[in-house]
Amino acid sequence: MRGKGYFLVISLLVGYYLANQLILSFAIALVWLVVLLIYYQRKRLELIECLVLVGLTLFFSQHFILDQFDRLEELGNDVVISGKVTAITKQSDQQTTFILRDSASKQLIQINQFLSSSVPLRVGARCQVTGEMNFPTNATNPGQFDFQSYLADQGIDYQINLNQSNQLQCTGTNLAGRLNHLRDQQMNRLDQRMSETSASWIKSLIFGDRSELDDQVQDLFERWHLTHLLAISGLHVSIIVAILHFICIYLCRLTKETTYQLLITFLLIYPILAGGAPSIWRAALVTICNYLAWYQRDRIISIDFLSLAFVLLLFLKPEWINHLGFQFSFLISFSLLLSKKILIQLKTKFAQMVFISLLCMVMIIPIQVNAFYLFNPISFIINLVVTFYFSSFFIPLIFFGYLVSLLFPPLLVLIEFLIELSNQLFITLIQFVDTYLYYPIVTGKLSPLIITLYYLCLFYLLVQFEKRQFNKVISSFILLIMIIVTNQITPYLSPYGKVTVLDLGQANSLIIELPHRKAVVIYDVGATLANDYTTPTDRAYQQIIKPFLYQAGINKIDAVILSHEDHDHLGSLPYLLEDFTVQTVITSAYFEWPELLLNPLKTGLIEHQRVKAGESFSIGSHDFYSLNPSRDWRNTNDNSLVIETRFADQSWLLTGDISAHVEETIVKNNPQLAIDTLVVAHHGSATSTSQLFLTQIAPNQAIIPVGRNNFFNHPSEIVLNRLTDQGLKIYRTDQDGAIQFIFHKNQRGGTFSTHLP
Amino acid sequence: MNCLICDKQIEVEITWTTLFNLKQQPPICRTCTNQFAKISTPTCEYCGRDDKQTCTDCARWQKRDLMTMNRSVYRYNEFLKETITRFKYRGDYALVEAFADVFADGVKNCFPTIPAETKLVPIPLSDERLRSRAFNQAEALASLLPYQTVSVLKRTTGEKQAKKNRRARLAMENPFELSAETVPASVIIIDDIYTTGATIHHAAKILQDAGCEQIVSFTLAR
């Protein structure tokens, strides 16, 4: 198989396709079989090699079926589970999350312990858990991170939440657990001896624990696609190995053999000490292979080793195939190795670094974009500088700092000073860049077709680059950009429009995307409160509103209409204004900015329009009619800006939080008013949606934006009965998740769909 | 796989271009490949050499108007000399694979306009020599090319060319005779080495006399 290791990788991926029965998986498997036959016939592969490859595909087509255990029958209160701790995924003062393998069913279960654990938990411990077993939370909105399928991708279908310490009893540990314990000890020691900043950097760059690194810093790293520097990977391993190599050979005067034996042992243990992320296992395994090859006096074919590491890791941890870090790590390693010839041709060190930085960016764009819906095109320049800075200065400094803390503690003051200083300078610089140069391209979700075309084009480009056919490189680069542009203009070409009522819990937001993306209009951007019912949070915005807009490829909003001043209708506005360009904010004539929420329009960049009943306004040549407030009701709820508008000849009424007497005034002033879709006022409270109003406007369907198990017991039974009696189709965000209405610009009517089945 | 010439392990390089390459890996390593001197643009339009401007021999051959031109893949340097010796005198038949790609590519590049029904005429060995060597090196080389090989020539005398000096070679009588009744209209004469061109032109003479219209020759070494 010499030099043919990458065929294993392809075989394995075909197996993955078969296991998940993705689109065209059988066609892909068939094509793979034909390709193997052709290779066999052309004598590129021998018969035995073909058989191994087919066998591998078949094996992994079973191996990747993650959920192959018995279903647990019990789901509910006081389930008793006993098993072994396989991993600890989160450990902080407030929460410990770990994975338990049930000894009876072999099922993996996530345990969330919401209290500061008195006894530290160890991997490999046998535990008995008593508690309520349920399903992890699933996504109820498009674009929202789906925790349930995220865990299901790792073979975890259930979770148990623990609030009392007597619910959990654990004993024992194993080797991995002991190594983890050593890691914890080392990290605790760092906390005691060093300043917070220095300790947090050493912990992230040597022990792979990012939890104490400043959130703001992590956010900056993510925005500039620099997170790979925080994930321990080939770069870190090569630096650490180089330093250890130097120490063994030049300072301790050991032989090469002894040094390599020591390093191999170190590389088998270090991944566990460093948190065990896929990227570090990849780097460690490939480095070990290189040393073993040296023993065999064999020439090195790195791509074979990388392929072996890929197959081995997925054999041991099939769930890693869905792991973003794993995907990035291998995709980049493979493409760098394949670019060897290009890099040699590029002669100057600088050209090579620019090429690597650019290659890394374009290689991962599709994966990056499908996880975050955007990418930062100039990040590759920053990456170039920061990667250079990290690899030549910062990581060695951190490692040196750790060694000093072990060997000559008195010197620590100096090291700490250096770390703090360089950290300060670095963060200032990145913040500066972030303020002036952050222009992300919001792409939305990419279709499989676009992704396939993108990678085909990129492959062709790299082949031509290697052949030094620069004309073809330029034309394929233009084609590559065209593919992205095509994706970007798709919404502008689509004759379909969309109205989405998001499920934010007990808060409202309705998002209108007009056909041909003539305008994006948002009616209300609510926010929810923390568990204490008083502290406002950005949860609804960060987890639902922003991802929704990004996945739809939206970064500019033509108008935000705010019904009234309540937090559950405008609480997310400040965050929205930070990330998106908003042209106009439209409110009722009597709207007053709540004190807590500083007037975000002060800057003057955003137009503020006040509207009264009887007035109309037009956005993207789409008309909106205001039906309230006809006068100042001296009550914020009643002063809600009520909007009537038509999509595909269907009229919609957006009501804010108006109460029954306002509704009656509306129908009195507009006797002809007939509505197809009513967005029910005030989360279905009994004080609104009166019978008179319903009879008069005679809607066909009602949408109730309302939170699950909300404090107010919304929606009220009375209102629900009224709606049912009238024969309405009722959609509720607490039961259906986000509700979407899709319509064609030239057709009457459209289709409703709900995010939850 | 090990190199056919130096027997060291061949370093496989997988890059973007070779990733899905259907071609087999060449059976010789890069170090050995680099020791061959490939002829890229011939300086003599007639005999296809690239190390000398004027060939006195060629002027004479051209006057006789037996064939259009000769083309060769490599210069006949020390390394090639050793390799050919191993191939032809010591019976290392497998070495022919070492030339598979360059020989086939060479004929395509040197004679881009040649008709598809062209036939290959490898220079024959005498029966006696064939028995002692077990294979004809010219036939082996011809088998690498995508044209049909025909056997229309027969060697009458068995003298070894390599043992003769230049004058003796040029003065020699034609050692070939026709062994078939008809000859193809277009042929490529195939041999391992073109030195003075005497052998190839003897063969060309026979072919031309038998009615062959277009004759070129293609050899591994010049």
The question of ipTM being above 0.90 is answered as no
Contact B5, B30 (CB under 8 A): no
Q: How far apart are CA A667 and CA A674, in angstroms?
A: 9
**pLDDT value of residue A3:** 79
Whether A338 sits inside 8 A of B14 (CB atoms) is yes
Whether B17 sits inside 8 A of A466 (CB atoms) is yes
Interface test with A, best of B14, B18, B31, B97 (most A CBs within 10 A): B14
- For the packed helices A256-273 and A175-193, what is the interaxial angle rounded to 10 degrees? 80
When pLDDT is cut at 50, 70 and 90, the band that residue B29 belongs to is confident
**pLDDT value of residue B42:** 87
What is the per-residue pLDDT across B68-102, written as a single tens digit (0 to 9) for each? 899 999 999 999 999 999 998 888 898 998 898 88
The residue of chain A with its CA nearest to that of B9 is A299
Q: Which residues of chain A have pLDDT under 70?
A: 1, 22, 66-76, 116-119, 297-300, 596-604
Say if B9 is an interface residue toward chain A (CB within 8 Å).
yes
**pLDDT value of residue A602:** 67
Contact A620, A583 (CB under 8 A): no
Token readout for A581 is 């360009």
Nearest 5°: phi and psi at A476? -75, -25
Say if B6 is an interface residue toward chain A (CB within 8 Å).
no
Q: How far apart are CA A158 and CA A81, in angstroms?
A: 12
Contact A98, A89 (CB under 8 A): yes
* Span B41-46, average pLDDT: 86
Say if A655 is an interface residue toward chain B (CB within 8 Å).
no
SS3 call for A76: coil
Find all residues with CB under 8 Å of A410, minimum gap 6, and list them: none
Say if A653 is an interface residue toward chain B (CB within 8 Å).
no
Question: Residue with structure tokens 């890229």?
Answer: B40
Q: How far apart are CA B177 and CA B199, in angstroms?
A: 12
Kindly list the residues from chain B whose CB atom is less than 8 angstroms away from the CB atom of residue A463. Answer: 16-17
Peptide bond into A600 cis (omega under 30): no
What is the value of pTM for the model shown?
0.82
State the smallest CA–CA distance between residue B179 and chain A in angstroms.
36
Burial label for B116, CB within 10 Å (0-12, 13-18, 19+), is exposed
SS3 call for A590: coil
**pLDDT value of residue A482:** 95
State the smallest CA–CA distance between residue B76 and chain A in angstroms.
29
Beta strands (DSSP E) in A277-364 are none
Kindly list the residues from chain B whose CB atom is less than 8 angstroms away from the CB atom of residue A462. Answer: 16
**pLDDT value of residue A108:** 86
Which of B 132-161 lie inside 8 A of A, CB atoms?
A: none
Which of A 288-307 lie inside 8 A of B, CB atoms?
A: 298-299, 301, 303
Residues forming a β-bridge with B188: B120, B216
Q: How far apart are CA A115 and CA A92, in angstroms?
A: 9
Say if B24 is an interface residue toward chain A (CB within 8 Å).
yes
Question: Residue with structure tokens 């789409």?
Answer: A622
Percentage of chain B beyond pLDDT 90 is: 29
**pLDDT value of residue A603:** 64
**pLDDT value of residue A96:** 84
Kindly list the residues from chain A whose CB atom is less than 8 angstroms away from the CB atom of residue B19. Answer: 6, 338
Q: How far apart are CA A740 and CA A750, in angstroms?
A: 10
Question: Residue with structure tokens 């989405």?
Answer: A500
